[in-house]
Amino acid sequence: MWRRIPHLLVGLALVAGSFYFFSGTVAGWKSTRRWVKVSGSVKPQVETDEIPGNEKPKTLGVLPSLLGNQNEDEKDEETEVASASVPPLVVDRISSATALAPHRFLHRRISVKAYEGFGFEVPAHATRPRIHGEFNSFVVDGGSGELREENVEVLLLSEAEYRDFVHGRAGAASFGRPPSTGAVIDWTLDATLFQPLKYYLVFRNSSPGRQTELVDADFSLSFD
């Protein structure tokens, strides 16, 4: 009987070891994660609380700002191209034209029975043409033969206005000076674009007896 005791102890040890090994294996199976096969490779299936198909889309914070800057650059380039393609206005061409020299078209004594007209032309591209000058009017006294002052009317007429004036048709004048013995005149004319304009400076006799008048006139056309 005492000889069987060592065999019994060895058997108990084997039984206890087998039980321990079996318990560990079962615990390992419980703790081991499940595996699924994806695209030919084995990957662990991780448990998650997210609902499939409800993932939030990923946003790129840098891309919109880059696109915004690109759009602003494109707008700036389009603005520069548009401003460069706009042709200069007619006024710009006129203002950049070479300055015109003054023209002294009347400087002498004239005799006026009924009227006397002196034509002059304002060239094209004149930005601010001006006519300025002075005059003095006289008549010869029949008794003494001396000069005495007498009134004369001064008019500035366009080509159409002068045509009506010559044919006796009443009409308005571009500029006018009431009858006087003398005055200083400074009139600003309309700017010209592509075509020149013609004017007439007219002296009309205003003496009571229509006696021939002598007018000392000095007039120039200038451009500011």
CATH code of domain 103-223 = 2.60.120.680
Q: Which two tokens mark 2?
A: 């005492």
Instruction: Return the ∠ at Cα 144 (arms to 139 and 150), rounded to 5°.
Output: 20
Domain boundaries, the chain: 103-223
Q: What pTM value is reported for the model? A: 0.57
219 burial type by CB count under 10 A (0-12 exposed, 13-18 middle, 19+ buried):
buried
Helices (H) and strands (E) in the chain, counts: 4, 11
List of E strands, 16-56: 35-38, 41-44
* Confidence (pLDDT) at 70: 54
Residue 14's SS3 state is helix
List of E strands, the chain: 35-38, 41-44, 103-112, 115-122, 129-140, 147-149, 152-158, 175-180, 182-188, 197-205, 213-223
* Confidence (pLDDT) at 145: 85
Per-residue pLDDT 10s for the chain (224 aa) are 545 665 666 666 666 666 555 555 545 544 444 433 444 444 444 444 454 455 554 544 444 444 455 555 555 555 554 444 555 444 444 444 457 889 999 999 999 999 999 999 999 999 899 999 999 999 998 878 899 999 999 999 999 999 999 999 878 899 999 999 999 999 999 989 899 999 999 999 998 888 999 999 999 999 97
The amino acid at residue 200 is Y
* Confidence (pLDDT) at 171: 85
